[in-house]
Chains A and B, each alone.
Chain A
Amino acid sequence: VQLVQSGAEVKKPGESLKISCKGSGYSFTNFWIGWVRQMPGKGLEWMAIIYPGDSDTRYSPSFQGQVTISADKSITTAYLQWSSLKASDTAMYYCARIFAGTTSYFDYWGQGTLVTVSS
C-alpha cells in the first residue's frame, strides 16, 4: 500500500487550492480515505473522509463548509480543495487510508503536503 501526495504549495490568502493523494497497491474503491491536518507545532485533526467506491463523504464539524473532499477512482486519487485560503490554513496535510468502515483506524499514511498561505 502506498499513498503519494502532491508537493508543497505556497499560496496567497483568497486563492484556491487542490492537493492530491494517489493510492496504489490496494483496491482504491473499497477503502475509505481521509485527510488529517497538523498545524505547526500542533496535534492531529481529522478533516474529512471519502469512500471512493460511491463518493460517500463525511466531514468533521470543524471543517464542514471550509474544504471539499473528492476522489477520482479512475486514477485512484483523492483530493482536498479550498476555494478561498486563509493564513490559518497554513499546515501540513496528510492523507490516510481507513482500514474498514467509518469507525476504523488510519492504517497507511501519505508523506504529507505542506501548505503555506501568506501574503
Chain B
Amino acid sequence: QSALTQPASVSGSPGQSITISCTGTSSDVGGYNYVSWYQQHPGKAPKLMIYEVSNRPSGVSNRFSGSKSGNTASLTISGLQAEDEADYYCGSYSTSSTLRVFGPGTKVTVL
C-alpha cells in the first residue's frame, strides 16, 4: 500500500492537456521539494521525467511540466501524443521510516 495516492487512470485526446495528481502528507510531498515523476512504457524500465517538483532532465519534452501545492504534486502533459501513453509514477523523499516512497502509478491513455 503506497503512502502516496494517484488516480488509477487518466485519459485524453491527442493535443489535449491532462494532469496527474500525487497526494501525500507534510512528511513527504508537502514538506520538501523532492518530488519526482517517472514514465514507464510496457516492458520498459522507468524513465525520469521531472525532478525536484518542476525540473525537466535534459532531453525530456517541454510538454511535460510539474508543480506542487500543499501536499499535492501534479504532472501536466500538454499537447498529448500517442507516445505519451504509459504508466506514470510519482516519488518523494519521506521523513517517515520509509525514507522514500512511490505512488501507485497512473495509467495514461490517449484516446
Q: Which residues of A contact B (CB under 8 A)?
A: 36, 43-46, 58, 60-62, 94, 96, 99, 102-112
Contact = CB atoms under 8 A, between A and B. Distances in A.
A24 to B, nearest CB: 16
Given A105-B51, A107-B57, A44 B45 contact: no
Interface of B: 2, 32, 34, 36, 38, 40, 45-48, 51-52, 57, 89, 91, 93, 97-105
A36 B98 CA distance: 13
A108 B34 CA distance: 16
Contacts of B98: 60-62
Most buried by A among B38, B45, B52, B103: B45
Contacts of B89: 43-44
Contacts of B45: 94, 109-112
What 7 pairs across the A-B complex have the smallest Cβ distances? A105-B36, A103-B93, A109-B45, A43-B105, A44-B102, A105-B51, A43-B104
Nearest to A102: B99
B46 A105 contact: no
B55 to A, nearest CB: 9
